[in-house]
Amino acid sequence: MSGPAVGRSDVVDADVIVVGGGSSGSVVASRLSENPDCRVVVVEAGQGVSRVQDYPPDIADAHVLPVGPGSPWTSSYPAELAPGVEREISRGRVLGGSGAVNGAYFIRARPDDFLHWPSRWSYENVLPYFTASETDHDYASDRHGSSGPIPVWRTAPKEWSGVTAAFVDASESLGFPADPDKNDPSPVGGTGPVPLNVFRGMRMNAAATYLIPRLSRPNLEVLTESTVLKILFDGDAACGVRILRRGVTTDMRASRVVLCAGAVRTPQLLMLSGVGPAESLRHCGIDVRLDHPRVGRGFSDHPEIGVYYRSSVPFRPSSPIEVVLHVGDLEIRPYTASFGYMIAGIGPVDPMIGIGLMRADSRGDITLRSADPLDSPFVRYRYLDSAADRAALHAGLDVVDALLSTAPMTAVATKLEVAGDRLLGRLGTALHLSGSCAMGGPDAVLDDRCRVRGVYGLDVVDTSSFPVVPTRGPHATVIMLAERAARDIADDLG
């Protein structure tokens, strides 16, 4: 990829500026620019392409995760998962965002997830936006999409990797039910194939499906390799953004600014622009425009514990996850290959079964380390603080031990013991960070239409906006959110 590849002209002003051309930004820009009278500019920090076929192989190939050290398609942030457990966490920094580098698991949130959302986001109300986003090639019903931009497939049993087939047999032998349609709203649980946004081995990210095919619209502009430094205000209304492009700082004007920079950068941008917890902004020398104590505070994610094993079954290119088992609040993930096989540059690593806690008590914070917009904020998760979370993950370890002790699994895998604490030594994160500028609740940052309370013309439409992380991976749900929020913004614009 070369860049700035996608912009047709130099910097222009707009009706709407969309900050970030990732999963949600691609949907918002595509939907808003359906109105030819609405000039939409997307500002994306990463590189881009103007034709889907120009994505380089590591972005296109759904069998690899292009997030290794030195990846040109990601940003990484310093994070503390738990006291003493420090990690760098990655997010996509490319047209398509994190959805361009992710595991391509595309499961909707469950109906009871929406009990934590404002009432206008009930499951019945959001179902039409889920279906509008997808074309499901396995299921046809009024609950599955048949003409949406994102193709959804499940890996057929005859194509399963060796570990997937053994895992399915193992879970059946332990009495877990089959769960063939993970997007069925009835509360089943059990083992079943994962809906994947993959077409012929290609990861179909939101830029590839929603945005790039619309680039010929004269009212749609995409500026790549252009970083938004702050939001500009006229009184209490957002009126544009300051961007850094080709080494030059420029101000762009618009009557509406929609933040889709992801759950780490969106709260950072608000704070850099003076909207956030007053005391911590002053600590960084930032003038306070609006004291919003919840900006960056109280996010949620899915802690993940890895159980490693040795296997003589050879890896072959496959989606990172083909099936999962849901047991209560746990998601058991038999990854089809070791991360060392899927991620370039991290060296040999044993394969693992992941245990995701999909409804955790832990809540984290994102805080500025300085007023420099190019400096990464700090992400503190507070995983394992809660006794209930620790107990749930221990129960998950027992489930995986039982699975690994079955005949189908012992035939392909030998469990490796980890010295020290059973949880801390294996702790990771699913990278599903959500709710860092949430809607819902009286002190929420956003109203129930994703508008930042206390100012005008400023929206947050990305996983930051979720009241809490859903009990499934967030990708399908953030596409749904963007579908609906784009309609709300279009209605506001009149």
Ligand X SMILES: Cc1cc2nc3c(=O)[nH]c(=O)nc-3n(C[C@H](O)[C@H](O)[C@H](O)COP(=O)(O)OP(=O)(O)OC[C@H]3O[C@@H](n4cnc5c(N)ncnc54)[C@H](O)[C@@H]3O)c2cc1C
Binding site for ligand X (CB under 6 A): 19-25, 43-46, 65, 67, 90-93, 97-99, 101-105, 227-228, 260-263, 265, 269, 431-432, 462-463, 473-475, 478
Using alpha carbons, select from 67, 106, 102 the residue that is nearest to residue 87. 67
* Rounded distance between C-alpha atoms, residue 43 and residue 491, angstroms: 23
Q: How many CB atoms lie within 10 A of CB 214?
A: 18
Give the SS3 label for residue 98: helix
- 67 annotated as belonging to a binding site for a ligand: no
Residue 97 φ then ψ, to 5°: 60, -145
**Between residues 261 and 352, which has the closer beta carbon with respect to ligand X?**
261
- 94 annotated as belonging to a binding site for a ligand: yes
CB 379 within 8 A of CB 78: yes
CB 468 within 8 A of CB 477: no
Catalytic residue among 116, 144, 302, 432: 432
Give the SS3 label for residue 351: coil
Q: Write out the DSSP string of 203-254.
A: E--HIIIIIGGGTT-TTEEEE-SEEEEEEEEETTEEEEEEEEETTEEEEEE-
| Shortest distance, position 133 Cβ to ligand X, whole Å | 13
CA 26, 94, 21 angle in degrees (round to 5)? 20
| Shortest distance, position 75 Cβ to ligand X, whole Å | 7
| Shortest distance, position 175 Cβ to ligand X, whole Å | 28
**Between residues 102 and 367, which has the closer beta carbon with respect to ligand X?**
102
- Tokens 């306070």: give the residue: 288
Give the SS3 label for residue 464: helix
CB 129 within 8 A of CB 114: no
Per the annotation, the verdict on 432 as an active-site residue is yes
CA 186, 192, 196 angle in degrees (round to 5)? 95
Spatial neighbors of 93 by CB under 8 A, at least 6 apart, are 45, 46, 73, 74, 75
Q: How many CB atoms lie within 10 A of CB 234?
A: 12
Closest residue to ligand X using C-beta atoms: 22
Query: Which residues share a beta bridge with 297?
Result: 365
Amino acid at 146: S
Using alpha carbons, select from 121, 36, 1 the residue that is nearest to residue 448. 121
Compute the Cα dihedral for 55, 23, 93, 37 and give only its sign: positive
| Shortest distance, position 370 Cβ to ligand X, whole Å | 15
For the chain, first and last CA: distance in Å?
Answer: 37
| Shortest distance, position 431 Cβ to ligand X, whole Å | 4
| Shortest distance, position 194 Cβ to ligand X, whole Å | 8
| Shortest distance, position 402 Cβ to ligand X, whole Å | 25
* Rounded distance between C-alpha atoms, residue 200 and residue 198, angstroms: 7
**Between residues 160 and 335, which has the closer beta carbon with respect to ligand X?**
335
| Shortest distance, position 47 Cβ to ligand X, whole Å | 9
Residues taking part in catalysis: 432
Annotated binding-site residue numbers for FAD: 94, 228
